[in-house]
């Protein structure tokens, strides 16, 4: 009798538990409101919300569809996307880093942009070819489309260049190192350049760019990681030895965890150069530096170019936009993507954020005809290469990025990092990537 | 509360002036405890048991980005994730072993130092003196502060270029250019931050324990010529054993599972010298999207802590019986 009563209580609890869990299902909405997770592109989430809401008023006036915006920092965005992919509860439209495109495509969380949907956006040919190369795995319809275009360039402090008697920006890597040396005055706490040594994403990008300049391929024809190849070691060595060998980077930079912090060093005159994406322009301005005080030149390449090396001056950087498969308003969501990728909105938003339009018909705006943005757009169009569009791209970033971070930690503390040290940590990263432990299909 | 189930008398025929009569719910006396426990059981299931079983099931799956949306359909791989995590010839196994060693050292040092500091502070505040209440409140500040605030304070203090620690060392002529958040010093920074947060809890628990020791025991010892150190060694520590046993176990479980302190102190760039097992599991789950492997590592950690806890409780209860 007692057992029956106890089992009755347990059954009751299980029923209550399951009904409560079922209650977590996505609530119905009115079909006239879209939820949009926007990445933090500006100086602050508040600024982003203000900029976006101004534009969405137009969208609502034209379509009657309201947009509820939530601005999410880059540090949290990927985890939030993953969480919503698992739970099925999330926004209708989302921004993502374009290097995650293939990894997130593998989750099946996003609606594919079929030929018909691309026609709705004005056709694939409207978009920059380089930006379209980072929208998902090759041979499949894109699962996201470009929204904001970015590329790397070298920002330099004009006054510091003049003071050091440097008349021309460097045109190759050895000149770049020489210029950095001439700008470095540790006694005055002035350094040739600044970098985010503890940021695994930044480190992975540099390993990719400089590795490609040396002729490295991240994966062989069988898709196996080749991070420890001599050319990759040379690329990473060139980056790390800016701190360890040439001492043109403040060892404190080994602790810098984001590009934004490095921007602060550049804007305050602690460093003469900064290799960053054009999104840094807004942060440089916010830090009080006038546009006339800085210039930009493309990331230099070695001269002569190593065998097999490519003149890669940036990876194809940028922010994409995707529609969730679980959205109950897919058509409205695609309408929102259509609106944000229109020539008018591309012109307005990219001007405000200091990024580059990803559609060719938005470049009529004279705001994009500055010397700096011309440099970034020509790098994006002509000398950038997309990171491998494979489902495990995120593993490349974490393994190689963390390996380079550890090298900077060593360079910052005892300043001696040999080629074999670099080979060892890259080999370890390669082993981790190859072993995978069930991270492949 | 008494609930009786008496048979109701048959209602008189005809309309009732007070409306239909309600039947009182029939709840037997024996059901009451179960019903009272039900809400707690329900939430225990919801918050603890169901997610834990879910995690255990995930550890047998190849759960990566390909199957995230429909994780129940992820391929069943048996013990593959466990084999991979414990393969000490592979990169993941070596890293797991390293982080296990770091975590064990971190936990033992943190718990040991917290207990000693807590005991010293509790003994110090046993005697009455002006300002004792204020000091007692001050000692509890690190424990009362939100974890984010307290770790961020340490992060700023340990910064190489602008931190107070290096500035102080520089003023003392001891060299103020050390990295505290990189390299091997990171372990020391992590331990100091964790001790700073935990020792007030030890202090609080031991202070409560000290209240239960009769003062005449100390008086008798003093008459016999026992000094302060002897009194602590032969009276205080043995009589605090029951409190200390529970305290050490709780502190050990907290520190062994600690994720917040290293994550807040180093962000995602945790140096290998401070790479605790919780961070290692996080990296394998959320940075490389290998949730099956992460779940297997979590299960292994749970089993290890269960074994350690059981062993510790057996050992301490045996000692108590022999004492």
Average pLDDT, chain A: 90
Residues of chain A with Cβ-Cβ distance to B271 below 8 Å are: 406, 409
Instruction: Tally helices (H) and strands (E) across chain A.
Output: 17, 11
Residues of chain B with Cβ-Cβ distance to A18 below 8 Å are: none
* Alpha-carbon span A157 to A169, nearest angstrom: 11
Of B68, B77, B286, the CB nearest to A79: B286
Residues of chain A with Cβ-Cβ distance to B183 below 8 Å are: 409-410, 412-413
* Contact: A438, B35; criterion CB under 8 Å: no
State the pLDDT at residue A27: 43
Of A14, A17, A85, the CB nearest to B68: A85
Tell me A253's DSSP state: G
Stretch 226-245 of chain A: residues touching chain B, C-beta under 8 Å: none
* Contact: B77, A438; criterion CB under 8 Å: yes
State the pLDDT at residue A8: 53
State the pLDDT at residue A336: 97
* Contact: A435, B91; criterion CB under 8 Å: yes
For A14, the token pair is 């299980």
A247, A438, A440: best mutation site toward chain B, by most B Cβ within 10 Å? A438
Question: Which residues fall within 8 angstroms of residue A35, CB to CB, at 6 or more apart?
Answer: A68, A70, A90, A91, A92, A93
Of A199, A413, A435, the CB nearest to B183: A413
* Interval A190-204 mean pLDDT: 95
* Alpha-carbon span A137 to A140, nearest angstrom: 6
* Alpha-carbon span B104 to B304, nearest angstrom: 12
Of B41, B64, B80, the CB nearest to A439: B64
Residues of chain B with Cβ-Cβ distance to A5 below 8 Å are: 30-31, 34
State the pLDDT at residue A427: 94
* pLDDT score of B174 more than 70: yes
B20 CA to chain A: closest CA distance, Å?
30
Work out the end-to-end distance of chain A between its first and last CA atoms, rounded to an integer number of angstroms.
Answer: 51
pTM: 0.85
Q: How many CB atoms lie within 10 A of CB B311?
A: 10
For the ranges A105-119, A356-370, B307-321, the lowest mean pLDDT is seen at B307-321
Is beta strand A33-39 parallel, antiparallel or unpaired with respect to A145-150? unpaired
* Alpha-carbon span B90 to B20, nearest angstrom: 76
Stretch 254-273 of chain A: residues touching chain B, C-beta under 8 Å: 254-255, 257
State the pLDDT at residue A24: 44
* Alpha-carbon span A184 to A273, nearest angstrom: 10
pLDDT digits (tens, 9 = 90+) for A145-158: 999 999 999 999 99
* pLDDT score of B100 more than 50: yes
* pLDDT score of B6 more than 50: no
| B185-211 and B147-157 helices, crossing angle to 10° | 130
State the pLDDT at residue B20: 57
pLDDT digits (tens, 9 = 90+) for B256-291: 999 999 999 998 778 889 999 999 999 888 888 889
Sheet holding A33-39, edge to edge: A66-72, A33-39, A93-97, A317-323, A145-150
Domains within chain B, CATH numbers bracketed: 101-321 (1.10.3720.10)
For residues A137 and A2, the model is more confident at A137
* pLDDT score of B14 more than 70: no
* Contact: B283, A398; criterion CB under 8 Å: yes
* Alpha-carbon span B230 to B298, nearest angstrom: 44
Asked if A100 is an interface residue toward chain B (Cβ–Cβ < 8 A), one would say no
CB pairs under 8 A between A and B: 131
* Alpha-carbon span B295 to B288, nearest angstrom: 13
State the pLDDT at residue B284: 86
Place of tokens 């949907």: A117
Sheet holding A152-157, edge to edge: A191-194, A271-277, A152-157, A294-297
Of A10, A252, A432, the CB nearest to B92: A432
pLDDT digits (tens, 9 = 90+) for B228-238: 999 999 999 99
Place of tokens 């420890």: A228
* pLDDT score of B2 more than 60: no
* Contact: B287, A436; criterion CB under 8 Å: no
Pick the residue from chain A with its C-alpha nearest to B50. A17
Residue environment code for B201-226, b if the CB has 16+ CB neighbours within 10 A, otherwise e: bbbbbbbebbeeeeeeebeebeeeeb
For A411, the token pair is 């360079």
* Interval A16-37 mean pLDDT: 60
Query: Residue B319 — very low, low, confident or very high, per pLDDT cuts 50/70/90?
Result: confident
Residues of chain B with Cβ-Cβ distance to A399 below 8 Å are: 288
Which residues, listed in sequence order, are joined to residue A317 by a DSSP beta bridge? A150
For residues B302 and B323, the model is more confident at B302
A351 CA to chain B: closest CA distance, Å?
32
* Contact: B289, A103; criterion CB under 8 Å: yes
* Alpha-carbon span A236 to A231, nearest angstrom: 9
B142 CA to chain A: closest CA distance, Å?
26
Pick the residue from chain B with its C-alpha nearest to A84. B69
* Contact: B42, A13; criterion CB under 8 Å: yes
* Alpha-carbon span A255 to A54, nearest angstrom: 38
* Alpha-carbon span A196 to A412, nearest angstrom: 12
Residue B172 has, within 13 A of its CA and on its CB side, a CA count of 9
* Contact: B84, A82; criterion CB under 8 Å: no
Residues of chain A with Cβ-Cβ distance to B80 below 8 Å are: 438
DSSP of A364-390: TSGGG-SHHHHHHHHHHHHSEEPPP-S
* Alpha-carbon span B15 to B28, nearest angstrom: 31
For residues A416 and A314, the model is more confident at A314
Pick the residue from chain A with its C-alpha nearest to B185. A413
* pLDDT score of B210 more than 90: yes
* Interval B295-305 mean pLDDT: 95
For A181, the token pair is 């040396």
* Contact: A439, B288; criterion CB under 8 Å: yes
* pLDDT score of B42 more than 90: yes
Asked if A132 is an interface residue toward chain B (Cβ–Cβ < 8 A), one would say no
A22 CA to chain B: closest CA distance, Å?
12
Stretch 344-373 of chain A: residues touching chain B, C-beta under 8 Å: none
Residues of chain A with Cβ-Cβ distance to B71 below 8 Å are: 86
* Interval B112-127 mean pLDDT: 95
* Alpha-carbon span B169 to B175, nearest angstrom: 6
State the pLDDT at residue A441: 62
State the pLDDT at residue B47: 93
Q: Cα dist. B290→A19, A326, B286 in Å?
A: 30, 23, 7
Of B31, B85, B271, the CB nearest to A409: B271
For the ranges A15-24, A342-351, B103-112, B175-184, the lowest mean pLDDT is seen at A15-24
Percent of chain A with pLDDT over 70: 92
* Contact: A405, B269; criterion CB under 8 Å: yes
* Contact: B50, A17; criterion CB under 8 Å: yes
Query: Residue B21 — very low, low, confident or very high, per pLDDT cuts 50/70/90?
Result: low
Asked if A199 is an interface residue toward chain B (Cβ–Cβ < 8 A), one would say yes
Count of all residues that appear for chain B in the document: 323
Of B65, B92, B269, the CB nearest to A198: B269
State the pLDDT at residue A256: 92
CB B298 within 8 A of CB B278: no
Of B35, B283, B292, the CB nearest to A438: B292
Asked if A413 is an interface residue toward chain B (Cβ–Cβ < 8 A), one would say yes
Q: How many CB atoms lie within 10 A of CB A47?
A: 17
pLDDT digits (tens, 9 = 90+) for A220-272: 888 899 999 999 999 999 999 999 999 999 999 999 988 888 999 999 999 99
* Contact: B68, A255; criterion CB under 8 Å: no
What's the helix, strand, coil split of chain A in %, to 5? Answer: 50, 15, 35
Residues of chain A with Cβ-Cβ distance to B269 below 8 Å are: 198-200, 257, 402, 405
* pLDDT score of A176 more than 60: yes
Residues of chain B with Cβ-Cβ distance to A252 below 8 Å are: 160-161
Which residues, listed in sequence order, are joined to residue A145 by a DSSP beta bridge? A321
Query: Residue B96 — very low, low, confident or very high, per pLDDT cuts 50/70/90?
Result: very high
3-state DSSP call for residue A154?
strand
* Interval B45-57 mean pLDDT: 94
* pLDDT score of B322 more than 80: no
Domains within chain A, CATH numbers bracketed: 33-150+316-385 (3.40.190.10), 152-314+388-436 (3.40.190.10)
For the CA atoms of B199, B202, B204, B209, the dihedral, rounded to the nearest 10 degrees, stands at -150
For the ranges A107-121, A282-296, B11-25, the lowest mean pLDDT is seen at B11-25
Residues of chain A with Cβ-Cβ distance to B292 below 8 Å are: 438
* Contact: A439, B181; criterion CB under 8 Å: no
* Contact: A431, B84; criterion CB under 8 Å: no
* Contact: A82, B286; criterion CB under 8 Å: yes
* Contact: A441, B287; criterion CB under 8 Å: no
Tell me A296's DSSP state: E
Beta-strand runs (E) in A226-359? 271-277, 294-297, 314-315, 317-323
Question: Which residues fall within 8 angstroms of residue A436, CB to CB, at 6 or more apart?
Answer: A392, A395, B290
């Amino acid at each position: 009798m007692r057992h029956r009563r106890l089992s009755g209580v347990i059954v009751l609890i299980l029923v209550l538990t399951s009904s409560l869990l079922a209650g977590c299902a996505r609530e119905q909405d009115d079909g006239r409101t879209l939820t949009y997770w926007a990445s933090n592109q500006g100086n602050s989430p508040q600024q982003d919300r203000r900029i976006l809401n101004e534009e969405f008023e137009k969208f609502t006036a034209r379509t009657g569809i309201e947009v509820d915006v939530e601005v999410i920092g880059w540090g949290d965005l990927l985890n939030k996307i993953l969480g919503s992919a698992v739970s099925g509860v999330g926004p209708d439209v989302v921004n993502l880093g374009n290097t995650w495109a293939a990894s997130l495509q593998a989750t099946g969380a996003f609606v594919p942009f079929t030929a018909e949907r691309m026609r709705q956006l004005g056709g694939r040919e409207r978009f920059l070819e380089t930006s379209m190369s980072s929208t998902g795995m090759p041979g499949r319809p894109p699962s996201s489309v470009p929204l904001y275009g970015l590329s790397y360039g070298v920002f330099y402090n004009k006054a510091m260049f003049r003071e050091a008697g440097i008349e021309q920006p460097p045109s190759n890597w050895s000149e770049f190192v020489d210029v950095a040396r001439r700008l470095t005055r540790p006694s005055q706490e002035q350094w040739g350049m600044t970098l985010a040594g503890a940021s695994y994403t930044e480190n992975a990008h540099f390993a990719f760019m400089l590795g490609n300049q040396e002729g490295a391929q991240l994966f062989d024809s069988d898709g196996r990681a080749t991070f420890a190849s001599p050319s990759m070691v040379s690329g990473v060595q060139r980056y790390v030895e800016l701190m360890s060998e040439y001492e043109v980077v403040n060892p404190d930079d080994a602790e810098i965890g984001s590009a934004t912090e490095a921007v602060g060093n550049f804007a305050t005159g602690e460093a003469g150069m900064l290799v960053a994406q054009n999104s840094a322009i807004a942060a440089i301005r916010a830090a009080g530096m006038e546009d006339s005080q800085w210039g930009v030149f493309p990331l230099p390449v070695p001269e002569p170019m190593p065998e097999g090396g490519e003149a890669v001056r940036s990876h194809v950087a940028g922010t994409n936009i995707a529609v969730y498969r679980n959205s109950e308003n897919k058509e409205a969501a695609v309408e929102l993507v259509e609106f944000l990728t229109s020539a008018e909105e591309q012109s307005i938003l990219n001007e405000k954020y200091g990024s580059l339009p990803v559609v060719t018909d938005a470049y009529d705006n004279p705001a994009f005809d500055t010397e700096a943005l011309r440099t970034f757009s020509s790098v994006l169009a002509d000398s950038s290469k997309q990171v491998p569009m494979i489902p495990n791209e995120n593993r490349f970033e974490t393994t190689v990025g963390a390996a380079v971070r550890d090298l900077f930690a060593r360079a910052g503390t005892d300043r001696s990092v040999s080629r074999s040290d670099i080979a060892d940590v890259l080999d370890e990263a390669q082993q981790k990537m190859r072993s995978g432990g069930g991270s492949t299909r | 509360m008494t609930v009786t189930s008496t048979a109701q008398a048959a209602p008189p025929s005809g309309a009732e002036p007070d409306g239909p009569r309600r039947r009182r719910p029939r709840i037997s006396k024996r059901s009451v405890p179960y019903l009272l426990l039900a809400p707690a059981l329900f939430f225990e299931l919801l918050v603890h048991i169901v997610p834990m079983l879910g995690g255990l099931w995930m550890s047998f799956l190849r759960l990566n980005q390909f199957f995230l949306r429909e994780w129940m359909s992820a391929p069943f791989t048996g013990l593959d994730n466990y084999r991979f995590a414990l393969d000490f010839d592979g990169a993941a196994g070596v890293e797991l072993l390293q982080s296990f060693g770091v975590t064990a050292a971190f936990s033992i040092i943190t718990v040991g130092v917290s207990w000693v500091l807590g005991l010293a502070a509790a003994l110090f505040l046993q005697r009455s003196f002006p300002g004792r209440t204020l000091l007692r409140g001050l000692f509890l500040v690190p424990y009362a502060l939100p974890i984010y605030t307290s770790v961020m304070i340490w992060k700023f203090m340990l910064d190489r270029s602008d931190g107070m620690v290096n500035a102080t060392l520089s003023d003392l002529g001891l060299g103020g250019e050390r990295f505290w958040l990189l390299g091997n010093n990171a372990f020391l920074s992590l331990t100091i931050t964790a001790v700073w947060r935990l020792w007030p809890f030890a202090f609080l628990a031991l202070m409560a324990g000290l209240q239960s020791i009769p003062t005449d025991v100390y008086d008798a010892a003093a008459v016999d010529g026992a000094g302060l150190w002897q009194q602590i060694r032969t009276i205080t520590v043995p009589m605090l054993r029951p409190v200390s046993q529970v305290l050490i176990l709780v502190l050990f479980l907290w520190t062994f599972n600690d994720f917040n302190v290293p994550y807040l102190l180093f962000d995602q760039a945790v140096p290998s010298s401070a790479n605790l097992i919780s961070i290692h599991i996080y990296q394998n789950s959320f940075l490389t999207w290998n949730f099956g492997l992460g779940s297997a590592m979590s299960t292994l950690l749970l089993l290890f802590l269960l074994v350690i806890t059981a062993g510790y409780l057996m050992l301490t209860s045996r000692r108590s019986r022999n004492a």
